[in-house]
Amino acid sequence: MMIYENIRLALFSLKANKMRALLTMLGIIIGIGSVIAIMTVGDSVTSTVADSMSSLGANNITVTLEERKDDEEASDSMFGMNWGSSQDDNAKQPTQKDYITTDMLRQMKEAFGDSITAYSITEQVGNGSIQQNAESGKANVSVMGTSLGYFLANDVQLVQGSYFSEEELENGAMVALLSEEALDDLFHGDADAAVGSTMTVSVNDKYYNLIIEGVYAKDEDETMSMYSMFMNSDATNLYIPLKTAQDINHASGYQTLTVVVDPNQNPDQLAADIESYFDNLYRNNRDFIVSATSMASMVSIMETMMSTITTAIALIGGIALVVGGIGVMNIMLVSITERTREIGTRKALGAPNSSIRLQFIIESIVICLIGGAIGIVVGCVGGIAAANYIGASAVPSVKSILISLGFSMAIGVFFGYYPANKAAKLNPIDALRYE
């Protein structure tokens, strides 16, 4: 009952001094609003990027040929200390004997059996263009050789035609998969007319005649769309068999590839096993080694890093909360000075020190809670607006809301205790004489 009465008195006091109360709450509103907005944007970006990475295959493992480092170089690299350009200038370039070979992959598939579903391998040929005739439009393309597993790993769906056959992949046939965007430019969206026809692709001042094997669906991935906008490029991928691309580039072997893992397998454990497998194959190679990293592990690392950055920025924004708390303490000291005679009267009528102390602590908490509630609304609205502006899916942080609300109460108690205690210790005779 006493707490209810003190809350009522606190609200009456705030109502009597509306402008002063609002200015007092301003620091709390700004502090909590900024913390919630920052954490909302951070969580939204983290969620969007994690979803995009997971859509590429949460069970996929990236296998990469890397330069072998000694313990000191590995430690420096881990802590981001490779700042100088001399490291890059002196970096060893892999030769044909260092590359991952098809035989290695065939043996690895035999060793791990059904744990490995497919291999996703690419060979970049270059950027080019296609123009069927004077009447058709021009399509900018990025010509890329791929294995059959690439389409599985990246969920490339066909709208017409078929994927490359095993024979075409093995022999390096001059066939291609065209995007729907390029189809619109070259064939006015007529997939039936496109499939089976021959097109001439210009890449690096050379011309290649390719038969259109199929048409794949438009890329709806938000991350790739944002990437294309950032790079100011309208080029879409033109897929050709991996062997065809290697013949064009006069290349063989691979520096990087993606292993598509069976859904029932543990990708982290399989990544470690694959790395051990290559450690054995590369034990006599003094310059290079092969690393294997699961996509799930990369997503986890990214989420941890983003969470750390978001928390650090939010803590900086939380400084405003401390400033707001000091403002609450200041206004409570002013309020006590104005109500000295009231305090003296209550004490003369027998009110204990604990009652006086509780009254002003509750008043301080009420100020902080009202400011905190307004700050939560401001933070959620601002965070959602900012997340939508940068193209991320808005995810209001429930955790930050609860923490901010609890922090508001803590500020009210912490910064309200000193003024409340000072009021409780007033001598009733001196308080009654106060003018």
Based on the fold, state whether residues 108 and 42 are members of the same structural domain. no
**Range of the structural domain that residue 318 is part of:** 2-52+304-433
Based on the fold, state whether residues 130 and 245 are members of the same structural domain. yes
Based on the fold, state whether residues 389 and 349 are members of the same structural domain. yes
Q: Which of 260, 295, 330 is the last residue of a domain?
A: 295
Based on the fold, state whether residues 155 and 34 are members of the same structural domain. no
User: What's the pLDDT band for 165 if we cut at 50, 70, 90?
Assistant: very high
DSSP 8-state symbol, 91: P
Angle at 22 between CA 18 and CA 25, to 5 degrees: 140
Which region among 46-50, 60-64, 229-233, 249-253 has the lowest average model confidence (pLDDT)?
A: 229-233
User: What's the pLDDT band for 125 if we cut at 50, 70, 90?
Assistant: very high
Based on the fold, state whether residues 320 and 366 are members of the same structural domain. yes
How far apart CA 278 and CA 293 sit, in angstroms, is: 13
User: What's the pLDDT band for 70 if we cut at 50, 70, 90?
Assistant: low
Q: Does the pLDDT of residue 223 top 70, yes or no?
A: no
% of residues, the chain, pLDDT over 70: 84
Cα–Cα nearest to 377, from 53, 97, 40, 22: 40
Q: What is the pLDDT of residue 69?
A: 77
Based on the fold, state whether residues 220 and 280 are members of the same structural domain. yes
Q: Which of 272, 295, 318 is the last residue of a domain?
A: 295
Based on the fold, state whether residues 141 and 285 are members of the same structural domain. yes
How far apart CA 296 and CA 234 sit, in angstroms, is: 30
Based on the fold, state whether residues 42 and 75 are members of the same structural domain. no
What is the per-residue DSSP string for 94-156?
A: P-TTTSBPHHHHHHHHHHHGGGEEEEE-EEEEEEEEE--SSSS--EEEEEEEE-HHHHHHTT-
% of residues, the chain, pLDDT over 90: 20
Based on the fold, state whether residues 349 and 429 are members of the same structural domain. yes
Q: What is the arithmetic mean of pLDDT over 145-163? A: 90
Based on the fold, state whether residues 31 and 81 are members of the same structural domain. no
Query: Which pair of structure tokens corresponds to residue 226?
Result: 């944002």
Q: Which of 273, 295, 317 is the last residue of a domain?
A: 295
How far apart CA 187 and CA 178 sit, in angstroms, is: 11
- Domain total for the chain? 2
Based on the fold, state whether residues 227 and 186 are members of the same structural domain. yes
How far apart CA 358 and CA 152 sit, in angstroms, is: 66
How far apart CA 80 and CA 90 sit, in angstroms, is: 18
CB within 8 Å of 195: residues ≥ 6 apart: 160, 161, 212, 213, 214, 215
Distances 158 to 96, 123, 140, 210 between C-alpha atoms, Å: 35, 21, 20, 18
Query: Which pair of structure tokens corresponds to residue 158?
Result: 């066909």
Look at strands 116-120 and 175-179 and give their pairing: unpaired
Instruction: Return the amino acid letter for 173.
Output: A
Query: Which pair of structure tokens corresponds to residue 260?
Result: 């598509």
CB within 8 Å of 10: residues ≥ 6 apart: 362, 363, 366, 367
Q: What is the pLDDT of residue 381?
A: 87
The predicted model scores a pTM of 0.59
Based on the fold, state whether residues 44 and 95 are members of the same structural domain. no
Cα–Cα nearest to 267, from 31, 58, 56: 58
pLDDT digits (tens, 9 = 90+) for 279-317: 999 989 888 999 988 877 767 777 778 778 777 777 777
Q: What is the pLDDT of residue 248?
A: 92
Beta bridge partners of 146: 122, 241
Question: Dmax of the chain from CA atoms?
Answer: 104
pLDDT: which is higher, 1 or 125: 125
Q: What is the pLDDT of residue 136?
A: 64
